[in-house]
Homo-oligomer: A and B are copies of this chain.
Amino acid sequence: MYSTNLTVPAPKIVDRQFKKPLLCGPGPCDVWPSVAEALTKPVLSPLCDELFNVLDDIRAGMKYLFQTQSNLVLAMSGSGHTGMEALISNLVAPKETMLIATRGIWDERAYEMAKRYGINAVTYRIPYNRSFSLKELETQLSKHRPAALFITHGDSSTGTVQKIEGLGELCHKYGTLLLVDTVVSLVAVPFFMDAWGVDGVYTSTQKALSGPAGISPVAFSVRAEEKINNRKHDPPFYFDIKLLAKQWNCYGNTRCYHHTLSPPLIWALRCCLQEVCKETLPKAWAKHAATTAYFHKRLQQMALEFLIPNPEDRLTTVTTVVLPKGYDYLEVVKYMIKKHNVLIFPGLGPTAGKSLRVGIMGVNSTIEVVDDVMNALTDALRALTKSSL
């Protein structure tokens, strides 16, 4: 009876051959084998107690990962960007100043977001190939006395790691909240939210946590919580931490509905947390450090150079590798995926055309994966030298 009204016919959605490559870019990365089972666990309805039990599990696991005793720990239902946007829109009021320590593209994204909320976003930019000294950050803090400082712990566009220890104390001296992006560092690199005085932090699941993208854990200090509770402005509804805290039962006895959570992602995050809690953080940190040390040694044996000159500034998870003159970075990436089904990335933003970006993290932080990447890279450099240079 209705079919005569159809103006758009049903498309034929046909399946294609697709062989997933070994994912050794800055992310998304490969996932724990146990994630497959977790993703297919039963749908959880808000009327099932089990949903709230799972949320409790996740909050306990995230407190461990962030190393915090804060109660205001939960996961945003979206990509890592929802974590970034939730921190900014909840913690910085329109017209307040937010200082953005800028060395890669994620800081630029934070700037782009902040502007949209009418925040006075101020960037302090350094060359892309190093991280910040606490001294230069203090100079900026004292100059701007911002409501918040935004900084990335690990920067996947440049392959740098930022020292956070000591920064919380400096920020608090100037009445500033410390907001940290740990998307590409958490689980792989030591991080201590409480001990380092971090006030707002977010991460993603598709990096060293080795889970599927689409859910973003966040945590707030008591200082940040007070600001949220006393704020005069309202963030977008979907990002409102006050309301989400009730859905996630952060303070007990408030199992409210805010939006419909995604059961596969909730189960998958819980699964990844189970894996990391079983492995323990100190072992995960040591494993990442050892695997990357091996990777870097192999790069040096090939006389390849690091884009980041100071070894202390180099990020454990993502390494930016400089090739000898004459190589086209994109061509190398394409060769490796085509001939070896190994996926690494070219540079991005400030590192575009200057380096490769190789991600060795999570379940791929193993000697075998490094060997696979090195074999593919060695072959690419040999083949492309011969053919196209």
Q: Which residues in A have some Cβ–Cβ distance to B below 8 Å?
A: 1-3, 5-13, 16, 18-21, 23, 25, 27-31, 36, 39-40, 42-45, 47-48, 50, 53, 57, 60-61, 63-64, 67-69, 77-82, 85, 89, 109, 112-113, 115-117, 190, 192, 194-195, 204, 206, 212-215, 234-239, 259-265, 268, 270, 273-274, 277-278, 280-282, 285-286, 333, 337, 343, 345
Main secondary structure of the interface of A (DSSP, over half): loop
Expressed in whole angstroms, the Cα–Cα distance for A192 and B4 within the complex equals: 12
| 7 sampled A-B residue pairs with Cβ under 8 A | A2-B281, A7-B195, A20-B42, A21-B45, A43-B206, A78-B78, A214-B261
Residue contact B195 to A260, C-beta cutoff 8 Å: no
Expressed in whole angstroms, the Cα–Cα distance for A270 and B274 within the complex equals: 29
Residues of B within 8 A of A261 (CB): 79, 213-214
Least CB separation from A264: chain B residue: B212
Output the residue of A20, A117, A261 with the most chain B CB within 10 A.
A20
Residue contact B10 to A64, C-beta cutoff 8 Å: yes
Q: Which 10 A-B pairs have the closest CB atoms?
A: A214-B262, A20-B42, A11-B60, A3-B282, A10-B277, A79-B259, A81-B259, A36-B40, A39-B39, A213-B260
Least CB separation from A4: chain B residue: B282
Residue contact A5 to B195, C-beta cutoff 8 Å: yes
Question: Other CB < 8 Å A-B pairs besides A13-B277, A113-B236, 7 of them?
Answer: A8-B68, A18-B48, A28-B43, A39-B39, A43-B206, A79-B261, A213-B260
